[in-house]
Amino acid sequence: MDIKDKVVLMTGVSGGIGKATAELFIKKGAKVVLAANSLDEVKELTAKMPDSLAVAVDMTKPQEIQKMVQQTQDYYGRIDVLINNAGQELNPSLESIGADDFDRLMTSDIYGPLIAMQTTIPLMEQQGSGAIVNISSGVLQKSQSVFSQSASVKSTLNTNSLNTRTEYSSPGISISLVYPREQKNVSRFVKRSKATHKKHLTEIQTIDTPESIAAKIVDTIEKGIAVEFL
C-alpha cells in the first residue's frame, strides 16, 4: 500500500508508540485521525501535523468508538488503516484489584479494539482494501507473573487478533499484531571457575524504541502483508 494520501485512524496517540507512528505516517504523506481519551491531548498534535484530525474517544464505550469511526468516514470519505494502540495499565497487588477495575480493563483493551475492527472492516470491504494493526505487549511472550492482570488481558487481545487473522480472509485487507519489546533488567549468576565463586550480572534485554516500532508498522502496511512480529 502506498501510504501517501491514505487515511489512517489511530488510537492512543498522545505519546510513545502512538505519537511516533502518527508522526511517521504524516511524514509519509498520510492523512491521520488522532484519537485519544482527551481532545486536549491531541489538539496540540494536530496543530503540528498537517492533514490530521483530532477526535476524542473513550475506548470503554462502544458508542464513542463507533462515532470515532463514523467521524473519520464522514471527514475523509474512507479509512485505509486502523491502528489499535490505546490501552490501560493495571498493576496493583492481587488482593487490591476490584471487579470494576478488571472489567474496565477488559472493556478498553479487548472489547474496544474489537468494536473498532468490527466497525471499520465493513468500510474497508466496500473499498476493497485496508490494513489493521493491533499493538500488544512484548513482555507477554516471556512474562513469568501469573498475577499480571494487564498482561492477561492483552493476551486475550493477542488471541483475538490471531484468530481474526486466521479466520478473516477478505481480499485486500490485512490484520497484523505487534509485540513491542520493553526494557527489563534481568539478574543472573554466572560461575567464574570450577570453584563455587559466582559473579552477579545484570543484563538489559533488547528494547524497541517508539520510532523503531513505528517504522516496522509502516513498513508492514506498505508491503501489504499480515504479520505477527516483535
The verdict on residue 2 lying in a domain is no
Residue 174 burial by Cβ neighbours in a 10 Å radius (0-12, 13-18, 19+): buried
The verdict on residue 118 lying in a domain is yes
What are the start-end ranges of the E strands in 111-184? 130-135, 173-178
- Mapping DSSP to helix (H, G, I), strand (E, B) and coil, where does residue 186 land? strand
The verdict on residue 43 lying in a domain is yes
DSSP states along 74-91: HHHS---EEEE-------
pLDDT of residue 170: 65
The verdict on residue 63 lying in a domain is yes
pTM for this predicted structure? 0.75
Residue 207, domain CATH: 3.40.50.720
The verdict on residue 213 lying in a domain is yes
Angle at 59 between CA 56 and CA 60, to 5 degrees: 125
Q: Which domain holds residue 219?
A: 7-229
The verdict on residue 1 lying in a domain is no
192-225: pLDDT as tens digits: 444 444 444 444 455 678 999 999 999 989 988 7
The verdict on residue 71 lying in a domain is yes
- Count of structural domains, the chain: 1
Render the burial of 193-220: b for 16+ CB within 10 Å, e for the rest.
Answer: eeeeeeeeeeeeeeebebeebbebbbeb
The verdict on residue 133 lying in a domain is yes
105-155: pLDDT as tens digits: 666 677 888 999 999 999 999 999 999 999 874 333 333 333 334 444 444
- Residue holding cell 490501560? 88
pLDDT of residue 142: 34
